[in-house]
Amino acid sequence: MSIFEREKVVHMKLKYLVTGTGRCGTVYMARLLTSLGIPCGHESVFDSSGVEYAIDRLSGNRPLVLSHISQFNCNAENWLELETIMAESSYMAAPFLDHECLRDTIIIHIVRHPVRVVNSFCNYHGYFRAANAQENERCHVWEKFIYGHIPQLQEELSQYDRASLYYVLWNKMITNKLLNRGFLFHKIEDDPRLVLDFLDISADDFFDNRTINTLKKPADFFQTNMIKNDDIRKAFVDIGESYGYNMSECKMI
């Protein structure tokens, strides 16, 4: 790609970007924004390929494709016309929030109860089992992407400890990259009208199925007392409480 083309790409910006840890409501937010007239892809621009691929997608040099997970438990397979995309919802955009291609993009940082995020990653998806770099090589590409940006997670840790540390460090990474920048912090459990207010949109009819990407299957249920490392447990509880969550009790839903 020439210098001229690269400069042109830099100025082709998303208007809105939703990000978080994953398993926190990014699919729901993509559907919500789209229903409000803001066509929003899910991992259509930012996936495990990194920021250069994202720039190529924004430039039209690579195709935009809805993630498979965004159509899970979904009757309307073609709920988004990708040609009209104005927004993106992806946890894999988090490491690049300070990149030039997102300089003028309006950011929405979403969180979900920490216990439910860890439970979903570990007990439903089998993430964070890798105990070392060799085991990491056998992980799927999305988990490798996480380890590539937070190498501390490849230390000798239990699965729950690693997932809990991920929740803490990924959210802190987002916060640090958004310093001195206006953005919306939104708990996915809160009223979606808070998002509408932020976007200055008035609507009575919008997508509000927050279970759209919820997996229903038998599984163990993670609790904070299962975190072995005292420092990780404290950091996990502290960040959850700072977000306004009750960390002493979280029932399975």
Distance CA 55, CA 146 (A): 20
Strands 106-111 and 87-89: unpaired
pLDDT at 103: 93
State mean pLDDT over 89-99: 98
Band the pLDDT of 212: cuts 50, 70, 90.
confident
Give me the chain's average pLDDT, please: 88
Contacts of 30 (CB under 8 A, 6+ apart): 18, 40, 41, 42, 70, 80, 87, 89
State mean pLDDT over 218-239: 92
> Between these two residues, 172 and 83, which has the higher pLDDT value?
172
> Between these two residues, 4 and 191, which has the higher pLDDT value?
191
pLDDT at 32 over 90: yes
Closest by CA position to 109, among listed 43, 175, 46, 51: 175
CATH code for the part of the protein at 3-208+218-242: 3.40.50
Band the pLDDT of 231: cuts 50, 70, 90.
very high
pLDDT at 250: 62
Q: Which of 18-22, 71-75, 244-248 has the lowest mean pLDDT?
A: 71-75
pLDDT at 135: 67
Domain coordinates in residue numbering, the chain: 3-208+218-242
Task: Please answer whether residues 119 and 251 qualify as being in contact, where contact means their C-beta atoms are separated by less than 8 angstroms.
Answer: no
Band the pLDDT of 8: cuts 50, 70, 90.
very low
Please write the tens of the pLDDT for every residue from 131-187.
665 666 667 889 999 999 999 998 899 999 999 999 999 999 999 999 999 999 999
Please write the tens of the pLDDT for every residue from 102-128.
999 999 999 999 999 999 999 988 899
Q: What is the 3-state secondary structure (H, E, C) of the chain?
A: CCHHHHHHHHCCCCCEEEECCCCCCHHHHHHHHHHCCCCEEECCCCCCCCHHHHHHHHHCCCCCCCCHHHHCCCCCCCCCCHHHCCEEECHHHHHHCCCHHHCCCEEEEEECCHHHHHHHHHHHCCCCCCCCHHHHCCCCHHHHHHHHHCHHHHCCCCHHHHHHHHHHHHHHHHHHHCCCCCEEEEECCCCCHHHHHHHCCCCCCCCCCCCCCCCCCCCCCCCHHHCCCHHHHHHHHHHHHHCCCCCCCCCCC
pLDDT at 217: 61
